[in-house]
Amino acid sequence: MKFTDGQWLHRPGITAHYPAEAYDISAEKDRLVIHAPTRPIKHRGDTLQGPLLTITLSSPLEGVMRVRIEHFTGGAQAGPEIPLQVTGDAGVRIERDEESTRIHSGELSARVSQKNGWELSFESGGELLTKSAWRGMGYIQHEDGGTYVHEQLSIRVGESVYGLGERFTAFVKNGQVIENDNKDGGTGCEQAYKSVPFYMTNRGYGVLVNETGPVSFEIASEKVSRVQFSIPGESLEYFVIAGPTPKDVLRRLTALTGRPALPPAWSFGLWLSTSFTTNYDEATCTKFIEGMEERDLPVHVFHFDCFWMREFDWCNFEWDPRVFPDPGAMLKRFHERGLKICVWINPYIGQRSRLFAEGVEKGYFIKRTDGGVWQTDLWQPGMAIVDFTNPEAREWYASHLRGLLEMGVDALKTDFGERIPTEGVVYHDGSDPVKMHNFYSILYNECVFDLVREIRGEGEAVLFARSSYASGQRFPTHWGGDCWSNFESMAESLRGGLSLSLCGFGFWSHDIGGFEGPSPASTYKRWAAFGLLSSHSRLHGSTSYRVPWVYDEEASDVLRLFTKLKCRLMPYLWAAAVTAHREGIPTMRAMMLEFPGDPACDNLDRQYLLGGSLLVAPVFSEDGSVDYYLPAGRWTHLLTGEVREGGRWYRETYECLSLPLFVRPGTVLPMGGCDDRPDYEYSKELTLRLYELEDGQSASCQLHDLQGRPSATVTATRKSGKVVLDIEGNLKGATVEIVGGPSAQLPDGAKQFELNL
């Protein structure tokens, strides 16, 4: 939200108050409390009347600084709040001199100037990260009675801003105005299903605004050398999170807000959907599954979309008896084919649902201020919304899902959760409806995820969720929502996924082929390659099926190649998944995350790293032409073995059965021995491929079992014309292959092995 009119003036109706000085600074336990009048205090008379701002600095975690700005503190403090995973204060060190006071948390420090006006600066390792300077922090009064608090943090020349949730606009957010407000807008606009009030920059830090309400960001837009964030009310809280690398920022962010659960390995396979408004019954679904089997196209999860329930009855969580007379037997037959099953749900109960009257009677829905149930016709006629702040409503909702899971459903697609009212409504626990609008998705997905984990067991829970907010990465996985079936939407989907990954979300997917409209064969085939080189892969559409033979037979060839490739890459991808779970580093990584020292990577949004070693540049053109950049070093194409020198751009044309897919130099890439399923014993029948290992260099890979526990580590060192492998753990039937050189069979149980070049 903009408050100023250029550099000097304010917009009509705005009265702004800015800290003029740090009048007094006191140390209270592990924090600093600063009282900042909004005019210079020259004599006692200046202390009369306000505003007076109170700024509190503390640290919940080493390398993280909390800043809380407050005007009036006597108002009601209704929730919800972001559920931080770290409580209490980290140990801090406070220093004072005549010029300033500093509070240190590890390498990060906040410095408050005691002379020459107001300035709050943040430094790490002796380097300035950002600061709140003249007219940066502010308390705003509007003539209509509304109040706001804002902060403006400086950005330097060449500093780029990323993140802020799943944003489909430009990857670098400089110049954008972003409203932190979940909306059901599709991928082709500035709205987002997953707003996250966090950004990071390419200068070694990130900022999390610790608010669930509608934070408004002006990113080098109102003040071109600053990022402003503001919120209605009397207070504002944010964290400055130090690096120095982008990965370090994400490690600290996810330590603060939560790390992703580890999804089951089977969920990394290919998901086939009925699509949305198509006709489907068991015979139709079986025909699709048999068609995939006949064409040697591995499918691992079958998804039933909305019409598994009867129309107008969404949600009653009952199979439509006209179409599915014996769903339990059907699910058993699908399980016998080796398939997992997912079904669609949402948190809305239509008026015709058998559950509606019960929910009204027992008070399980969001209510109007007059005591009635809030209802709308937008989506399901007369629908109400489950109030997840009510423990009984939460259990009631989960109880109806419990029967589905016990019947044989393995995963749930938690759709919607964005169209949550903010005015004229009341929650069971008294939550602020404005703050609850974004946070609702957290309660919704948490309820469902916890139930799946309870029924299926630890490590077997997975969702396919559309809406989320800060901390929502704890309940994977998420997909990008409604996109058009064209190359433009394919590219905007990737931008959204990369932006979300820079907010701590480790697993992400999208609708292969696009959702809205018929997908041209060329788009479908290119999207299939992209989709199967994502953490999770689903074929899904709106009005048309997404089985490949409805496009052309080459589409089947493309889908087969990349599905089987993904299965063989699972030892590598699973290690990346474990890293996302344990450290918060996403499986799909923006180039700037993996190569922060290469300025050519700062703006790249049409390519990414899958894990730490595979560079993927999807093709976004009908003729197969693609531009991509390789960082320094000798990169090897995974499919062809061709070597490209890095540190430069390439423009090439690729057939549909390929794309730029390069292995990073100095990589030990574990390729599995199974190409028809994602969940198998990764240390058995393994091929260890060594890429461009320089003399004196070592590289390693780690293997894990299906519970994410380390099972083996292989370290390769090149020296004196040979490669030495050191092996911890046991490998069975493994082969080592120096790409472009010799290969050999490893003896079972070997702890060291030498291969002459």
8-state DSSP, 437: H
Residue 77: predicted pLDDT? 82
Could you tell me if 20 and 117 are in contact, meaning their C-beta atoms sit under 8 angstroms apart?
A: yes
Q: CA triplet 357, 360, 363: central angle to 5 degrees?
A: 145
516 near 490, Cβ under 8 Å?
no
**Residue numbers annotated as active site:** 415, 418, 482
d(CA 166, CA 176): 14
Q: What is the pLDDT of residue 428?
A: 98
* Fold assignment, 588-660: Immunoglobulin-like (2.60.40)
User: What's the pLDDT at 49?
Assistant: 87
Tell which residue, 245, 195, 191, 63, has the closest CA to residue 469.
Answer: 195
Q: Report residue 83 as tokens.
A: 């559920």
User: Positive or negative, the Cα torsion across 284, 290, 296, 300?
Assistant: positive
d(CA 135, CA 150): 10
Cβ-contact 196, 500 below 8 angstroms: yes
Domain 681-756 - what CATH class?
A: mainly beta
Distance CA 374, CA 383 (A): 8
Q: Which amino acid is at 498?
A: L
Name the phi and psi angles at 327, rounded to 5.
-65, -35
Tokens 């600095």 belong to residue: 57
Instruction: Determine the distance from the C-alpha atom of residue 598 to the mean position of all C-alpha atoms in its chain, rounded to a whole number.
Output: 24
**8-state DSSP, 139:** E
Domain boundaries, the chain: 14-73+89-257, 265-583, 588-660, 681-756
CB atoms within 10 A of CB 707: 12
Within 376-486, residue ranges assigned H as helices are 391-407, 433-456
- Position 4: which residue type? T
d(CA 333, CA 385): 34
Instruction: Report pLDDT for 124.
Output: 97
Query: What is the Cα–Cα distance from 529 to 532, expressed in whole angstroms?
Result: 5
Residue (of 637, 626, 639, 640) closest to 664 by Cα position: 637
For residue 40, the Cα-to-chain-centroid distance in whole angstroms is 44
Per-residue model confidence (pLDDT) at position 176: 98
Of the candidates 695, 701, 641, 633, the residue with the CA atom closest to the CA atom of residue 664 = 633
Task: Report the pLDDT value the prediction gives residue 68, as an integer from 0 to 100.
Answer: 98
Q: Judge if 14-73+89-257 and 681-756 fold alike in CATH terms.
A: yes
Residue 354's CB: how many other CB atoms inside 10 A?
A: 11
The whole-number pLDDT of residue 29 equals 84
Question: 14-73+89-257, which class in CATH?
Answer: mainly beta
**Cβ(752)–Cβ(725) below 8 Å:** yes
Q: How far apart are CA 385 and CA 424, in angstroms?
A: 14
User: What stretches in the chain show pLDDT beneath 50?
Assistant: none
Tell me how far apart the alpha carbons of residues 582 and 589 are, in angstroms, rounded to a whole number: 16
What's the CA angle centered on 263, arms 565 and 331, to 5 degrees? 85
- What tens digit of pLDDT does each residue of 689-726 get? 999 999 999 999 999 999 999 999 999 999 989 999 99
Closest to 511 (Cα-Cα) out of 344, 574, 534, 287: 534
What does the longest C-alpha to C-alpha distance in the chain come to? 88
Architecture category of domain 265-583 in CATH: Alpha-Beta Barrel (3.20)
Torsion sign over Cα 621, 623, 627, 630: positive
